[in-house]
């Protein structure tokens, strides 16, 4: 199956909105895109533009008002077993140790204790937290906790990872390093990744393709292919090509971000 994720004509209108006027909020309008196997695609847009909602819809947590999402050839009716999500910090369970967090999904599936502990330790190892398996999230840094969130998602062996601004709350350096870490895990596991972000540089650092979204009602304004070679290093990310792509994206995004800022939205 070449196209793992197909989003067709997805729109989302929130009827009982908390908007002052009480009018329904049209969050997404006619989103259409595909993601191929093992691709890394980013959804980039200004704050509040509905990209998280779109990700929730692909993940089966929200129903679209119209349109459909097809995953591995089948229209989804809810959550898909081969799709795992990673949310913004702190989504790890503070009352569980790292390895207990990692085995959460397996626990839900009633996998035997020995087997799920083994699998959990494998993914903990993969994200580089082997030494901290028995530590609690309060003993780990923000970056480590996000790696744990990724491990927890990977424990169920999904084909697709949906990531909602996972590095948003981290400082700039940690963010960049976590990006490299994520790419390392991606190269090792060959997962298909759909990544939501509001950071242009992050989208360019990580993705094969960037889908630039408008302010609400969100449409996909532009699809930008990132031709930069992998692995993406600080050198390749500061070349002229990279800079011109960044400027190109900013020109599109500037208009949308201003709309979001001034409240000139639906």
Partner 1 sequence: MSLKLSIRLVQLLIFGLAFFFFAILSRAFPFFPSSLQILRASGELFVSGDVYAHIFITLYETAAGFVIAIALGIGIGLLLGVDRTLGEVFEPIILSSYAIPKIIFLPLLLVIFGVGISSKIANATLHAVFPIILNTLVGIREVNRVHVKVARSMNATKAQTFTKVYFPSMVLPVFAGMRIGVGFGFLGSLLAELFEAKTGLGFLVASFYNTGQIAKMLAVILFVFILTMAINAGMMGMENRLSHWRKATWRN
Residue ranges in contact with partner 1 by CB under 8 A: 59-61, 78-79, 81, 84-85, 87-88, 90-91, 93-96, 104-105, 107-108, 135-136, 138-139, 152, 156
Minimal distance in Å, beta carbon 52 to partner 1? 11
Minimal distance in Å, beta carbon 232 to partner 1? 28
Distance, in Å, from the CA atom of 159 to the CA atom of 100, rounded to the nearest integer, reads 22
**Chain centre to alpha carbon of residue 175:** 14
Helical ranges in 86-218 per DSSP H: 98-102, 104-108, 113-126, 142-154, 172-189, 200-206
Residues ≥6 apart with Cβ < 8 Å to 247 = none
Q: Based on CB atoms, which residue is closest to partner 1, 75 or 77?
A: 77
Q: Based on CB atoms, which residue is closest to partner 1, 174 or 266?
A: 174
Q: Based on CB atoms, which residue is closest to partner 1, 11 or 101?
A: 101
Minimal distance in Å, beta carbon 62 to partner 1? 10
Q: Based on CB atoms, which residue is closest to partner 1, 157 or 222?
A: 157
Q: Are strands 74-75 and 66-71 parallel, antiparallel or unpaired?
A: antiparallel
Judge whether 177 and 184 are in contact, CB under 8 Å.
no
Minimal distance in Å, beta carbon 89 to partner 1? 9
């Amino acid at each position: 199956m070449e196209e793992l994720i197909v989003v067709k004509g997805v729109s989302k209108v929130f009827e009982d909105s908390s908007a002052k006027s009480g009018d329904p909020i049209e969050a997404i309008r006619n989103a259409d895109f595909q993601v191929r196997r093992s691709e890394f695609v980013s959804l980039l847009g200004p704050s509040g533009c509905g990209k998280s909602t779109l990700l929730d819809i692909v993940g089966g947590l929200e129903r679209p008002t119209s349109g459909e999402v097809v995953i591995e050839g089948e229209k989804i009716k809810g959550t898909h077993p081969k799709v795992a999500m990673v949310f913004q910090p702190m989504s790890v369970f503070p009352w569980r140790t790292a390895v207990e967090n990692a085995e959460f999904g397996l626990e839900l599936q009633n996998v035997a204790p020995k087997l799920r502990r083994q699998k959990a330790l494998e993914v903990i190892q993969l994200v580089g937290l082997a030494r901290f398996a028995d530590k609690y999230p309060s003993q780990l840094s923000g970056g480590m906790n996000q790696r744990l969130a990724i491990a927890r998602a990977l424990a169920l062996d999904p084909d697709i990872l949906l990531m909602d601004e996972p590095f948003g709350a981290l400082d700039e350096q940690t963010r960049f390093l976590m990006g490299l870490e994520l790419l390392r895990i991606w190269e090792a596991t060959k997962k298909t990744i759909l990544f939501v972000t509001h950071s242009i540089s992050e989208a360019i650092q990580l993705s094969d393709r960037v889908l630039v979204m408008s302010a609400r009602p969100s449409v996909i304004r532009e699809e930008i292919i990132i031709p930069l070679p992998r692995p993406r290093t600080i050198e390749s990310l500061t070349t002229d090509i990279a800079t011109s792509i960044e400027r190109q994206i900013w020109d599109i995004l500037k208009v949308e971000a201003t709309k979001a800022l001034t409240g000139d939205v639906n």
